[in-house]
Amino acid sequence: MKNTIAIVGRPNVGKSTLFNRLVGHRKAIMDNQSGVTRDRHYGYGEWIGKHFTVIDTGGYVHGSDDVFEEGIRRQVKLAIDEADVVLFMVDVDAGLHGLDEEFANVLRRYQGKKPIYLVANKADTNARAHAAGEFYALGVGDGDIFTISSQSGSGTGDLLDAVVSHFEDPWEEVQDEGLPKIAVVGRPNVGKSSLVNLLLGEERTIVTDIAGTTRDAIKTRYNAFGNEFILIDTAGLRRKTKVKEDIEFYSVLRSIRAMEESDVCIVMLDATRGIEAQDVNIIGLADKNRKGIVILVNKWDLVEDKETNTTKKIEEQIYEKIAPIAYPPIIFTSVLTKQRVHKAIETAIQVYENKTKKIPTSQLNEVMLRVIEEHQPPSTKGKMVRIKYVTQLPTHNPVFAFFCNLPQYVSESYTRYLENRLRENFDFGGVPIGIIFRKK
C-alpha cells in the first residue's frame, strides 16, 4: 500500500479516536477499557488533496504473557513495517509512562528508516500542551512534539500537514466501490480469522482458541482467480442473551453491518458440532438481507469415522435445518490442512457473478415461456392465469417480473416452480431470487 500511516502506542492513549478522526467517521471501536483494539484496522483519509491509508493498532504492552497482548505486539510490528509514516501516541494527561519508554525502545530500530512523529494526545488546554515537553526524554521522533486533542480535532491539521509532506504525488484513493465484498461470518471460534489469514498469506488478524478474539470487522483487498475483491473478517455472532460486554455488543453490531454491506457471505460452520440454531439464524439473516451465500463446513479433518456418503448426509441435515432456503452451495474444508480452501473463494466469486448477472429478455422469454407452456399455472376459483411475458428488473439482486392477466391468483407453489426452473436454466447457485407478478 502507498501513503500509509500507522498509529501506535501503549493502550488507552486515544489511538482509535485519532483513527476515527482521520478517516472521517466512527469506524474503530472505542471504550475506556484498555486493549479494545486488537487487530490492525484499516481506513482511508484525505488531506489537502492527498489520499492515504490509516492503520489503527492495539495497545503495545512489553513483556506480557497474555495471549492477546502477544498477538497485539506482532500486529503492531507488522503495521510499523507496512507504514510510510509512524505516529507514536502518548497521553499528556497521564504523563510519561513506563510503557511509553519500553515502546520507544522498539521504535528506535526504525529511527532514520521512516518518519516517526511523537504525538501527545489529550492536550486540551495550554497547560497540558506545555506539559508535553517531558516526552522529549523518550528520544524518539522527527522534530517537535505534536500536541493534539484527537477528541476535538485540535492540532490534527498541523500534524497532517507534516505527515502528507512525505507523500509524493496525490495518490488516487483506494476505491472499494464497485469491488465485490465477501464477508466471512459465523459463530465464534469456527475459524473465520484463520481462513482470512491463510488466504492473505499473513497474520492479518489475531487467532487464538478463545472465542471472541476478533472484535472489529476487518476489511482487506484481495486478488484471486483474476478477480479483485474486499475480504471481510467479522466478529463471531452469538445469541443476544450471550452478548454481555458493551465491547462485544458493538462488535456483533459491526459484524451484522458488515454482512449487510457485503455482496456474498461465507457462512462458516464447525464440522465437529454440526449445524446449530445460531448457524441457522446467521444463514437466515443473510437470506433476509438478500446476500449470496456459501456455506463452509470447517474442521472437516477433525471428523472421525467418515464414510463415502457422510458429506451427503450432512448436506441433507443442513438443508433440512435451513429450509426453505435451498440455494447455498456447501463446501467441506479444513483451514488447518488447507483442504478445499481456495474452492471456497472460487465458489464465492462464482456466487457474486451469479448475483450480478443479467439475462437478456429474449433469452428469458424463449426459455421460460416454454417452461410455462409445459406446466401452466393451476386455476384458482375457476380463474385461469395466463403469463405472457417475463423480464429481469434492473435491481442489485436477481428479480424477475412475470406479466400476466391475474397476478393475484398465482399460487406460492407455482412461484417456487418458476424459481426452480430459473435456477435450472440460468445457474443462480448461492443467490436468492425474487419473483413478482404484474398485470399485463
Q: Is the peptide bond before 324 cis (omega within 30 degrees of 0)?
A: yes
| DSSP helix/strand/coil, 321 | helix
Task: Please tell me whether 398 is known to bind a ligand.
Answer: no
Task: Please tell me whether 60 is known to bind a ligand.
Answer: yes
Cell 460486554: give the residue.
Answer: 245
Task: Please tell me whether 298 is known to bind a ligand.
Answer: yes
Orientation angle between helical segments 341-356 and 192-200, nearest 10 degrees: 90
Task: Please tell me whether 124 is known to bind a ligand.
Answer: yes
Q: Name the nearest CA neighbour of 156 among 24, 3, 1, 10.
A: 24
Task: Please tell me whether 95 is known to bind a ligand.
Answer: no
| DSSP helix/strand/coil, 296 | strand
Task: Please tell me whether 59 is known to bind a ligand.
Answer: yes
Task: Please tell me whether 45 is known to bind a ligand.
Answer: no
Task: Please tell me whether 365 is known to bind a ligand.
Answer: no
Task: Please tell me whether 21 is known to bind a ligand.
Answer: no
Task: Please tell me whether 234 is known to bind a ligand.
Answer: yes
Task: Please tell me whether 192 is known to bind a ligand.
Answer: yes
Task: Please tell me whether 354 is known to bind a ligand.
Answer: no
Report the Cα–Cα distance between both ends of the chain, in Å, rounded.
54
Strand order in the sheet with 227-233: 218-224, 227-233, 181-186, 264-270, 292-298, 330-332
Task: Please tell me whether 235 is known to bind a ligand.
Answer: yes
Task: Please tell me whether 143 is known to bind a ligand.
Answer: no
For the record, the C-alpha cell of 406 comes out as 391475474
Task: Please tell me whether 329 is known to bind a ligand.
Answer: no
Alpha-carbon span 144 to 130, nearest angstrom: 12
Task: Please tell me whether 56 is known to bind a ligand.
Answer: yes
Task: Please tell me whether 362 is known to bind a ligand.
Answer: no
Task: Please tell me whether 149 is known to bind a ligand.
Answer: no
Task: Please tell me whether 280 is known to bind a ligand.
Answer: no
Task: Please tell me whether 58 is known to bind a ligand.
Answer: yes
Strands 181-186 and 264-270: parallel
Task: Please tell me whether 300 is known to bind a ligand.
Answer: yes
Task: Please tell me whether 299 is known to bind a ligand.
Answer: yes
Task: Please tell me whether 123 is known to bind a ligand.
Answer: yes
Alpha helices in 49-125 (DSSP H): 67-82, 98-107
Task: Please tell me whether 16 is known to bind a ligand.
Answer: yes
Alpha-carbon span 306 to 300, nearest angstrom: 10
DSSP string, 412-435: HHHHHHHHHHHHHHH--TT---EE
Task: Please tell me whether 257 is known to bind a ligand.
Answer: no
Task: Please tell me whether 189 is known to bind a ligand.
Answer: yes
Task: Please tell me whether 309 is known to bind a ligand.
Answer: no
Task: Please tell me whether 267 is known to bind a ligand.
Answer: no
Residue ranges of the binding site for GTP: 9-16, 56-60, 121-124, 186-193, 233-237, 298-301
Residue ranges of the binding site: 9-16, 56-60, 121-124, 186-193, 233-237, 298-301
